[in-house]
Structure 1
Amino acid sequence: MDSNQRTILVMDADQRSALAVTRALGSHYRSARLVTADVSATALAGRSKYASHYLRYPSPVDQPEAFVCWVKANCLNGQFDLVIPTTEVTSQLLLINAERLPDLPMAFAPYSRVMQLADKSRLVRSAQVLGIPVPLSRFYTRLAELDPTTLVYPVVLKPSLSKIFLGDRWLSTHVRVLHSAQDFNRVCQSDRYLAEHPFMLQEFIPGQGAGLFCLYHQGQAIQFFAHQRLREKPPEGGVSVLSQAAKVDQRLQAHASALLSAANWHGVAMVEFRIAEDGTPYLMEVNTRFWGSLQLAIDAGVNFPVQLVSGFFGEPIVANNHYNEQQRLRWLMGDLDSLYIFLKRPYSFRAKLKRLVDFAAPRFRNQRHEVNRLGDLKPFWHELQHYFKP
């Protein structure tokens, strides 16, 4: 089939990563039919000019059985040549139900292989075998195994799974940095899932985060990309709202390659590290899906969605190891949130003034906005409507 005549379904359409996928594929495959879908009546990627149709499905989080039934009824009879989920919950739910959804066209590794990386406890053990630096870690299957009198603070409490599937719903977990016994007791009360589900205690590594973005095809490394976070929400560290492409750190690439090759990885992955004050990169986690700042890579010249689709259909995958390292990406509404939080914090007047000037200063070269784009403005109007909705 001509690549331009294919029909592709992009799920989780209210995610910024889904918007990036939709725009990237729509720009590259001019005549392809791109269908977007999510749980709400309208969604970010659904408003893009590249989306030919929008579908609404039951919530994969709160109604997983109804969602699987929807997929079975709407996606297995050749309606779509490829289905692209863009969140952890949706992708894992589809993989968990692979036997019920035979021949669902997805560019993912099998569920068992995904969990080699998505399960943080298994990931750390694999890294230890491979000689990849990880924080000192202790493993527990449930809270009752832990003697709190042995804790040395600060310590990081990290559930093995970010999302736990309970059969009829999904449970979100949280990584906690504990600074005292009071913190520990508070977390035990709030995070009740610790009583029944595995977690780790890891030493706290002072330093800064770093990520490596990867594409593998049937165990073979195809593409690596890196970026630098310039501003985040919240300002002390979190989601990137202003970022810039960066040169791939060869140490991070070596560690990521060892890990992904050992897992015989297939598809995209974001490998996260924490760079300690002495320069040692410690492995933190791996996200087995498209990431929030995907649009930056595309703008810099690394079109991960097109590479993924090309590989799925057996076409040549064009890698780019000489992308524009000066390219920046700004998520305007996220940056506005970050500014508001910063101005409310007890920083000095000078620091607040500088932050305000940095926010307002225009940049005309090598910077694009993530959502608001002149040639495709409807997603931005959608974002504005929801941003100011009471």
Structure 2
Amino acid sequence: MEKTAVLIFDAAQRSALATTRALGKRSDIQVFTTDRHKQALAGCSRYSHQYLTCPNPSDDTQKFLNWVNDTVIKYEIDFLLPVTEVTSRTLVQHRDALPPCKLPFADIDTLLSLSDKSALNHLAESLGVPVPFSQYCQRASDIDHDAISFPCVLKPALSKVLVDNQWLETQVHIVHNAAQLQQLTEDKVYFNNHPFMVQQYIDGHGAGVFCYYQKGEAKAFFAHKRLREKPPSGGVSVLSASAPINPDMEKHARALLDAVNWHGVAMVEFRVSADGTPYLMEINTRLWGSLQLAIDAGVSFPELLFDGEYKTLERHRGFKEGVQLRWLLGDVDNLYLQLKDKNLSTSEKLNAVGTFLTPKFSNRRHEINRMDDMGPFWFELKHYL
């Protein structure tokens, strides 16, 4: 049986490992993995046929594109699947310069209409999707200081910007006073040369909806809740569980993705206020960190992306709720940070230890360490130690 050659980028990411396993298990696919490192997490998987080292797209876009062009021809690659923003935007923007191969993303203008947070906010307002009160600025001098209530959020329109053929990473900042606002706008170049917003701070918790669309039609939705994070105050999920989809969030996600005739995956992120209102934060137009949980619960987004480029798909029907996913070494970090936190009492620290050690024998899987594919775990453990 002839196999379709798939090149999965950003192999150091956990989402790339989940993608490699999901596609590499299929008899009709041969997976190649790549990243800028000599070896990477997904490249250690038994489901990666071959690992290739590529130039860093953040350092030199053209060198990276030349490498992709040569690699596609040399290995007869049929399908490209990036999992980070820089790689996906680079490939989508230069799609026409690459040899013929599948790339499961919308065109660059559509992609930017969602990944550009300022443009997305305007779209959401026109559709009646709740957004925080926002000022739209091109430079620091555009800020209306009289209209600001602290704390506020200083949010660049794009999380990555291309400057002189190199990618510059921006950052969202929570600002507590006028002096901090002035300092940030003076210190960070992306607040003077690129669009940004000054937004109302929404006191609440984060939540999201994960989606797959095929040529403007909704095909699959998924949701989860975070049980533990690193750092514990909020960050990367280290223990999560599949959960029912909030109907308001799904409605808002549909409105936004329908409006741009979306194609591909999207993670629509909200912040839910105390009164239960979900305020739109951003949309990530790529695969996400906790991807393995969706796959374990019954929604294999990598396979939807692959199959959706070759045939019309049926609407995916549901998923199993209550499935847990644990990133073991990330959870170790969570425990360590709690134990060294001087603001936690001894009883709270003992509770954290007990919670960490309590086994769960059903509906929980580990993200990296899997008995049928332990190579990535040994690689991660070596670097962790």
More off after superposition, 263-272 vs 184-193: 184-193
Deviation at 1:332, TM superposition (A): 0.7
More off after superposition, 90-99 vs 290-299: 90-99
**Contact 1:206/1:277 (CA < 8 Å) preserved in 2?**
yes
Corresponding position: 1:301 with 2:281: no
**Contact 1:245/1:326 (CA < 8 Å) preserved in 2?**
yes
Counterpart for residue 192 of structure 1:
189
% identical aligned pairs = 47
Q: How many residues align?
A: 384
Counterpart for residue 360 of structure 1:
357
Deviation at 1:186, TM superposition (A): 2.9
Counterpart for residue 235 of structure 1:
232
Unaligned runs of 5+ in 2: none
**Contact 2:239/2:326 (CA < 8 Å) preserved in 1?**
yes
Counterpart for residue 112 of structure 1:
109
Counterpart for residue 133 of structure 2:
136
Counterpart for residue 103 of structure 1:
100
Q: Distance in 2 between matches of 1:53 and 1:184?
A: 48
Counterpart for residue 339 of structure 1:
335
Counterpart for residue 255 of structure 1:
252
Amino acid at match of 2:86: V
Deviation at 1:317, TM superposition (A): 4.7
Deviation at 1:315, TM superposition (A): 5.6
Deviation at 1:198, TM superposition (A): 0.6
Q: Distance in 2 between matches of 1:353 and 1:217?
A: 48
Q: Distance in 2 between matches of 1:317 and 1:238?
A: 35
Amino acid at match of 1:326: G
Counterpart for residue 154 of structure 1:
151
TM-score relative to the length of structure 2: 0.97
Q: Secondary structure at the match of 1:338?
A: helix
Counterpart for residue 84 of structure 1:
81
CA deviations over 1:347-389 (Å, ceiling 9, x no partner): 111111111111111111000000011110000011011112x
TM-score relative to the length of structure 1: 0.95
Q: Distance in 2 between matches of 1:315 and 1:138?
A: 42
Q: Secondary structure at the match of 1:211?
A: strand
Amino acid at match of 1:336: V
**Contact 2:135/2:143 (CA < 8 Å) preserved in 1?**
no
Q: Distance in 2 between matches of 1:367 and 1:76?
A: 41
RMSD: 1.5
**Contact 1:233/1:334 (CA < 8 Å) preserved in 2?**
yes
Corresponding position: 1:21 with 2:15: no
Q: Where does 1:279-318 land on structure 2 (aligned, <5 Å)?
A: 279-314=276-311, 316-317=313-314
**Contact 1:301/1:320 (CA < 8 Å) preserved in 2?**
no
Counterpart for residue 321 of structure 2:
325
More off after superposition, 60-69 vs 370-379: 60-69
**Contact 1:214/1:223 (CA < 8 Å) preserved in 2?**
yes
CA deviations over 1:206-248 (Å, ceiling 9, x no partner): 1111010000000000000000000011111111100000011
Aligned match of 1:218 in 195, 215, 218? 215
Q: Distance in 2 between matches of 1:109 and 1:326?
A: 32
Deviation at 1:167, TM superposition (A): 3.6
Amino acid at match of 1:18: A
Q: Secondary structure at the match of 2:206?
A: strand
Corresponding position: 1:163 with 2:178: no
Q: Secondary structure at the match of 2:86?
A: helix
Amino acid at match of 1:8: V
Deviation at 1:190, TM superposition (A): 3.2
Deviation at 1:147, TM superposition (A): 4.4
Deviation at 1:102, TM superposition (A): 5.0
